[in-house]
Protein backbone atom coordinates (compact mmCIF):
# COMPACT_ATOMS: atom_id res chain seq x y z
CA UNK A 1 0.00 0.00 0.00
CA UNK A 2 1.20 3.50 -0.80
CA UNK A 3 2.37 5.08 2.47
CA UNK A 4 0.88 8.47 1.59
CA UNK A 5 -2.47 6.94 0.73
CA UNK A 6 -2.49 5.27 4.14
CA UNK A 7 -2.11 8.68 5.79
CA UNK A 8 -5.09 10.05 3.91
CA UNK A 9 -8.05 9.32 6.21
CA UNK A 10 -10.54 12.18 5.74
CA UNK A 11 -13.55 9.99 6.43
CA UNK A 12 -12.04 8.67 9.68
CA UNK A 13 -11.12 12.19 10.76
CA UNK A 14 -14.66 13.39 10.01
CA UNK A 15 -16.10 10.65 12.23
CA UNK A 16 -13.66 11.59 15.01
CA UNK A 17 -14.76 15.23 14.83
CA UNK A 18 -18.42 14.19 15.06
CA UNK A 19 -17.74 12.01 18.10
CA UNK A 20 -15.82 14.80 19.83
CA UNK A 21 -18.55 17.34 19.22
CA UNK A 22 -21.18 15.01 20.71
CA UNK A 23 -18.95 13.98 23.62
CA UNK A 24 -17.64 17.38 24.66
CA UNK A 25 -20.53 19.69 23.73
CA UNK A 26 -22.37 20.67 26.90
CA UNK A 27 -20.14 18.60 29.17
CA UNK A 28 -17.27 21.00 29.72
CA UNK A 29 -16.55 23.41 32.57
CA UNK A 30 -17.25 26.36 30.30
CA UNK A 31 -20.66 24.97 29.41
CA UNK A 32 -21.64 24.80 33.07
CA UNK A 33 -20.17 28.16 34.04
CA UNK A 34 -22.83 30.84 34.65
CA UNK A 35 -22.80 33.61 32.09
CA UNK A 36 -21.04 31.64 29.36
CA UNK A 37 -22.89 32.25 26.11
CA UNK A 38 -21.85 29.00 24.46
CA UNK A 39 -20.70 25.52 25.49
CA UNK A 40 -17.00 24.90 24.91
CA UNK A 41 -16.46 22.59 21.95
CA UNK A 42 -13.01 21.32 20.97
CA UNK A 43 -12.76 20.05 17.40
CA UNK A 44 -9.99 18.51 15.37
CA UNK A 45 -9.57 20.40 12.13
CA UNK A 46 -8.32 17.83 9.63
CA UNK A 47 -6.32 18.84 6.57
CA UNK A 48 -8.42 20.96 4.22
CA UNK A 49 -8.29 23.87 1.81
CA UNK A 50 -10.16 27.08 1.06
CA UNK A 51 -10.51 28.32 -2.52
CA UNK A 52 -11.29 31.50 -4.37
CA UNK A 53 -14.18 31.49 -6.83
CA UNK A 54 -11.68 31.73 -9.69
CA UNK A 55 -9.82 28.63 -8.50
CA UNK A 56 -13.10 26.70 -8.05
CA UNK A 57 -13.86 27.46 -11.68
CA UNK A 58 -10.44 26.26 -12.83
CA UNK A 59 -10.31 23.12 -10.68
CA UNK A 60 -13.92 21.97 -10.98
CA UNK A 61 -15.30 23.76 -14.04
CA UNK A 62 -18.18 25.43 -12.19
CA UNK A 63 -18.92 28.63 -10.34
CA UNK A 64 -19.46 27.40 -6.79
CA UNK A 65 -18.89 24.54 -4.38
CA UNK A 66 -21.44 21.85 -3.52
CA UNK A 67 -22.18 21.73 0.22
CA UNK A 68 -21.88 18.25 1.71
CA UNK A 69 -22.14 18.87 5.44
CA UNK A 70 -22.56 21.92 7.67
CA UNK A 71 -19.70 22.71 10.05
CA UNK A 72 -20.14 23.76 13.67
CA UNK A 73 -19.93 27.47 12.83
CA UNK A 74 -23.06 28.72 11.08
CA UNK A 75 -22.64 29.44 7.37
CA UNK A 76 -19.58 27.22 6.90
CA UNK A 77 -19.58 23.76 5.34
CA UNK A 78 -17.52 20.87 4.06
CA UNK A 79 -17.95 20.66 0.30
CA UNK A 80 -18.27 17.54 -1.80
CA UNK A 81 -15.23 18.67 -3.78
CA UNK A 82 -11.71 17.51 -2.98
CA UNK A 83 -8.32 18.34 -4.49
CA UNK A 84 -4.93 16.70 -4.73
CA UNK A 85 -2.15 18.71 -3.08
CA UNK A 86 1.22 18.27 -4.77
CA UNK A 87 4.50 19.39 -3.22
CA UNK A 88 7.61 20.62 -5.04
CA UNK A 89 9.17 17.14 -4.97
CA UNK A 90 6.11 15.63 -6.72
CA UNK A 91 4.93 14.11 -3.47
CA UNK A 92 1.18 14.35 -3.12
CA UNK A 93 -1.78 14.05 -0.76
CA UNK A 94 -5.02 13.13 -2.56
CA UNK A 95 -8.61 13.86 -1.55
CA UNK A 96 -8.03 16.99 0.54
CA UNK A 97 -11.45 18.34 1.45
CA UNK A 98 -12.50 21.81 0.30
CA UNK A 99 -14.36 23.96 2.83
CA UNK A 100 -16.81 26.67 1.89
CA UNK A 101 -17.81 29.33 1.27
CA UNK A 102 -15.18 30.68 -1.12
CA UNK A 103 -12.57 33.12 0.17
CA UNK A 104 -10.51 35.98 -1.15
CA UNK A 105 -7.31 33.90 -1.10
CA UNK A 106 -6.84 30.18 -1.61
CA UNK A 107 -5.26 28.47 1.37
CA UNK A 108 -4.27 24.91 2.30
CA UNK A 109 -4.16 23.93 5.99
CA UNK A 110 -2.08 20.87 6.84
CA UNK A 111 -0.58 19.23 9.91
CA UNK A 112 3.13 18.84 10.60
CA UNK A 113 3.13 15.18 9.52
CA UNK A 114 1.56 16.26 6.23
CA UNK A 115 4.44 18.66 5.65
CA UNK A 116 6.85 15.76 6.11
CA UNK A 117 4.88 13.71 3.59
CA UNK A 118 4.99 16.54 1.05
CA UNK A 119 8.61 17.41 1.76
CA UNK A 120 7.93 21.10 2.38
CA UNK A 121 8.45 23.50 5.27
CA UNK A 122 5.06 24.79 6.41
CA UNK A 123 4.91 27.88 8.64
CA UNK A 124 2.53 28.10 11.60
CA UNK A 125 0.10 30.92 10.87
CA UNK A 126 -3.28 32.32 11.78
CA UNK A 127 -5.73 31.37 9.03
CA UNK A 128 -5.72 34.03 6.33
CA UNK A 129 -2.10 35.04 6.91
CA UNK A 130 -0.61 33.46 3.80
CA UNK A 131 2.00 36.07 2.82
CA UNK A 132 5.30 34.29 2.24
CA UNK A 133 3.92 30.87 3.16
CA UNK A 134 4.69 27.60 1.36
CA UNK A 135 3.77 26.90 -2.29
CA UNK A 136 2.01 23.90 -3.78
CA UNK A 137 0.06 22.70 -6.79
CA UNK A 138 -3.66 21.90 -6.56
CA UNK A 139 -5.09 19.33 -8.95
CA UNK A 140 -8.82 19.03 -9.58
CA UNK A 141 -10.91 17.03 -12.05
CA UNK A 142 -11.03 19.93 -14.52
CA UNK A 143 -7.75 21.76 -14.08
CA UNK A 144 -4.61 22.64 -12.15
CA UNK A 145 -3.75 25.67 -10.00
CA UNK A 146 -0.24 26.60 -8.89
CA UNK A 147 -0.20 28.42 -5.58
CA UNK A 148 2.91 30.54 -5.10
CA UNK A 149 1.96 30.73 -1.42
CA UNK A 150 -0.90 29.61 0.77
CA UNK A 151 0.12 26.38 2.52
CA UNK A 152 0.15 26.79 6.31
CA UNK A 153 -0.16 24.90 9.55
CA UNK A 154 -3.01 26.66 11.34
CA UNK A 155 -2.03 28.04 14.73
CA UNK A 156 -4.18 26.50 17.47
CA UNK A 157 -6.99 28.91 18.22
CA UNK A 158 -10.34 29.47 19.87
CA UNK A 159 -13.27 31.17 18.16
CA UNK A 160 -15.27 33.50 20.40
CA UNK A 161 -18.31 35.72 20.09
CA UNK A 162 -18.77 38.99 22.03
CA UNK A 163 -20.38 37.28 25.05
CA UNK A 164 -17.53 34.77 25.23
CA UNK A 165 -14.93 37.54 25.15
CA UNK A 166 -16.69 39.25 28.05
CA UNK A 167 -17.05 36.00 30.01
CA UNK A 168 -13.35 35.12 29.78
CA UNK A 169 -12.10 38.71 29.93
CA UNK A 170 -10.07 38.50 26.73
CA UNK A 171 -9.81 40.31 23.41
CA UNK A 172 -9.18 39.31 19.83
CA UNK A 173 -5.56 38.23 19.44
CA UNK A 174 -5.03 37.35 23.11
CA UNK A 175 -3.62 33.94 24.00
CA UNK A 176 -5.15 31.40 26.37
CA UNK A 177 -4.36 27.90 27.66
CA UNK A 178 -6.44 24.80 26.97
CA UNK A 179 -6.38 22.12 29.67
CA UNK A 180 -7.44 18.69 28.45
CA UNK A 181 -7.98 15.76 30.82
CA UNK A 182 -7.62 12.37 29.13
CA UNK A 183 -6.92 8.99 30.74
CA UNK A 184 -3.21 9.06 31.57
CA UNK A 185 -2.63 12.07 29.32
CA UNK A 186 -3.72 15.31 30.97
CA UNK A 187 -2.16 18.16 28.98
CA UNK A 188 -2.14 21.95 28.89
CA UNK A 189 -1.77 23.52 25.46
CA UNK A 190 -0.47 27.09 25.59
CA UNK A 191 -0.63 29.92 23.05
CA UNK A 192 -4.25 29.31 22.04
CA UNK A 193 -5.00 32.43 19.99
CA UNK A 194 -8.38 34.12 20.46
CA UNK A 195 -10.20 34.79 17.18
CA UNK A 196 -13.23 37.00 17.75
CA UNK A 197 -16.22 37.61 15.54
CA UNK A 198 -19.93 38.39 15.57
CA UNK A 199 -22.37 35.46 15.66
CA UNK A 200 -19.53 33.03 16.45
CA UNK A 201 -19.89 29.95 18.63
CA UNK A 202 -17.25 29.13 21.22
CA UNK A 203 -15.00 26.55 19.56
CA UNK A 204 -11.37 25.45 19.80
CA UNK A 205 -9.60 24.19 16.68
CA UNK A 206 -6.63 21.82 16.92
CA UNK A 207 -4.96 20.05 14.02
CA UNK A 208 -4.85 16.27 13.71
CA UNK A 209 -1.35 15.94 15.18
CA UNK A 210 -2.29 17.97 18.26
CA UNK A 211 -5.52 16.07 18.79
CA UNK A 212 -3.75 12.72 18.57
CA UNK A 213 -0.89 13.81 20.85
CA UNK A 214 -3.25 14.70 23.72
CA UNK A 215 -5.65 11.77 23.13
CA UNK A 216 -8.49 14.22 22.56
CA UNK A 217 -10.91 11.53 21.40
CA UNK A 218 -10.89 10.12 24.96
CA UNK A 219 -10.98 13.46 26.76
CA UNK A 220 -13.24 13.65 29.80
CA UNK A 221 -12.86 17.36 30.57
CA UNK A 222 -11.67 20.45 28.69
CA UNK A 223 -11.14 23.92 30.11
CA UNK A 224 -10.03 27.29 28.78
CA UNK A 225 -7.67 29.10 31.15
CA UNK A 226 -6.59 32.71 30.99
CA UNK A 227 -2.80 32.86 31.64
CA UNK A 228 -1.81 34.63 34.83
CA UNK A 229 0.01 37.96 34.35
CA UNK A 230 3.78 37.60 34.31
CA UNK A 231 5.32 38.18 37.75
CA UNK A 232 8.82 38.50 36.33
CA UNK A 233 11.10 40.93 38.18
CA UNK A 234 13.21 43.43 36.25
| Cα distances (Å, whole numbers) of residue 12 to 6, 15, 178 | 12, 5, 24
Calculate the CA dihedral of residues 154, 159, 165, 170 and round it to 10 degrees: -10
Q: How confident is the model at residue 233 (pLDDT cuts 50, 70, 90)?
A: low
Q: pTM higher than 0.85 for the full model?
A: no
Q: How confident is the model at residue 89 (pLDDT cuts 50, 70, 90)?
A: confident
In this predicted structure, the answer to whether residue 36 has a pLDDT above a threshold of 60 is no
In this predicted structure, the answer to whether residue 170 has a pLDDT above a threshold of 60 is yes
State residue 20 phi and psi, 5-degree precision. -65, -40
Q: Say what the pLDDT of residue 234 is.
A: 54
Q: Say what the pLDDT of residue 231 is.
A: 59
Q: Say what the pLDDT of residue 50 is.
A: 98
In this predicted structure, the answer to whether residue 108 has a pLDDT above a threshold of 80 is yes
In this predicted structure, the answer to whether residue 136 has a pLDDT above a threshold of 60 is yes
Q: Say what the pLDDT of residue 6 is.
A: 43
Residue range 186-215, pLDDT digits in tens: 999 999 999 999 999 999 999 999 999 999
Nearest residue to 159 via CA among 42, 35, 21: 42
How, if at all, do strands 92-100 and 77-86 pair?
antiparallel
The C-alpha R_g of the chain, in whole angstroms, comes to 18
Amino acid sequence: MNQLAALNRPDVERVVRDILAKKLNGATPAAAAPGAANPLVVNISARHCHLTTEHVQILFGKDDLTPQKDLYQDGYYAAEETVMVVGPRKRMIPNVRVLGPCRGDSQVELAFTDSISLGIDIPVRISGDVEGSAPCILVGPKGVVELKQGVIRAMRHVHMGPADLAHYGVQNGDKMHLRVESPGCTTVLEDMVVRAGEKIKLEVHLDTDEGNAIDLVNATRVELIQPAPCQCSH
